[in-house]
Amino acid sequence: MNSLARNILRTFSTQVGCQVMAVLLGIVIARTIGPSGKGFFSYAAMCVSFVSVFFYGFSDAALLQYGKRRESARAVHGITLRILVATLAIIIPVFVVLATVVPSQRPLAAAAAALPFAMYVQVMTPFVMVKDNVKLLNVISLGQSLGTALCTIPLLLFAHLGLGAVLGVWLFFYALAGLQVARAMRPILEDSPPALATQKKLFGEQLHFGLRAAGSSVAGFLNMRVGIFMVSFLFAPAALGWYTLAIGTGELLWQVSRAFVWSALGRIGSDPLPEAAALVARVTRNTLAIVGSSGLVAFIIGPWLIVHVYGEGFAPAGAALRWALPGLVAYAAEVSLTKFIILQLARPVTIICVQLSSALICALATLALASRFGIIAAAGSTSVTFLLVTIVLLTIFVRGTGIPLGRLLVIQREDLRHYVGIVATMLRTLRLRSA
């Protein structure tokens, strides 16, 4: 089994473990502090993710400079850190003011406390990935999820400490993850050769490319989360709890695509265009096949599971899940396609336009239909716009690479042979361990 396959398998296993912990924690939060408390926590976590998505652009810039152009890790790291500090010096006060002035935005205060640690992990990740140390990143991610769940659940079930305990543990493990990544960066920086370009040139390149790529990432996130923002403003806190549960349940299907892209990101950004395009095509068709099959199962039994796991109080989330699933399945292919279009085709502005247009359509449709259909309006609007974005991205990829659409959508014979090889290797490993 090659290194990419091993990284995909490890990452997928890690993502599954993280999601199991997250789901278990979500169930306990829902049953102990109710839809409003779950909505508060989910919204705070989403706001951290929103800022993290902005820094994806600078992560891409660091990957381009350090991974593809082989610039000095120390020089690229220093510039990335300066941009991080300057940006957070603006974002954190804005979050605090909004949390103070607007009652519905109180979760932003918790998000502001987590931002320094979460964003540091985000922008340092490309350096570790270029060194092909995906295993370490998986360990850090799994440790954060496992630790958060194992500490929070007893505090809720036995100590009855409530939402404050949830947020406190969540912040502690974000800080711990930041310290672990800082430790991983130390040998990378110590082994760094002198810079090939001047600091001024590297800073200008990173800022220019980072802002353009950040724009596309933010636009994509707004398209993904505009429904949640609309629900938070249009409906009561309980509705936000229902809707975030529906979307979060559907997004569990994305663990396959995240594992593929996480493991292949270094190659997507640094390989020559033909090899990177072939890799993205392979990732896309396998992602859609696996996520599509899982999505059908979720459509059939998802609402039943939500009621029996989270309780009757979350029943409205089941219908919203079914409306959201078609778009969620299609959108599983978005990350790899977007990364290729930005890093290889150098078209971040195109991505910005596509995603912002989709977010605007989703917001307007939700606003127009909310009074009649409730959270179903947000779920249906999100699903339709996700489908449209995926179609546009597939079209751009095909035109930019010449790869037939069939190789993006249909499982190939070599994929089946690859799966057989992975299963055979896993069985051999199990037999050796049991011997």
Predicted confidence (pLDDT) per residue in 38-68, tens digit: 888 888 988 898 888 788 878 878 877 887 7
Three-state SS annotation for 356-393:
HHHHHHHHHHHHHHHHHHCHHHHHHHHHHHHHHHHHHH
pLDDT tens string 293-305: 999 999 999 999 8
What pLDDT shows up at residue 5? Answer: 56
Reference 382, options 331, 419, 425; nearest CA is: 331
Cα 411 from Cα 96, distance rounded (Å): 48
Q: What is the mean pLDDT of residues 26-44?
A: 84
Distance between CA 87 and CA 57 in Å, rounded? 13
Q: What is the pLDDT of residue 172?
A: 96
Our measurement of the distance from residue 130's CA atom to the centroid of its chain's CA atoms, rounded to an integer in Å, reads 19
Supply the pTM of this predicted model.
0.65
Residue 189 CB neighbours (<10 A): 13
- Look at residue 91 and tell me whether its pLDDT is greater than 80: yes
Q: Which helix (H) or strand (E) holds 273?
A: helix 273-310
Residue 299, pLDDT score? 94
C-alpha closest to that of 109 among 39, 41, 179? 41
- Taking each helix axis from N to C end, the angle separating 237-251 and 375-401, rounded to the nearest 10 degrees, works out to 30
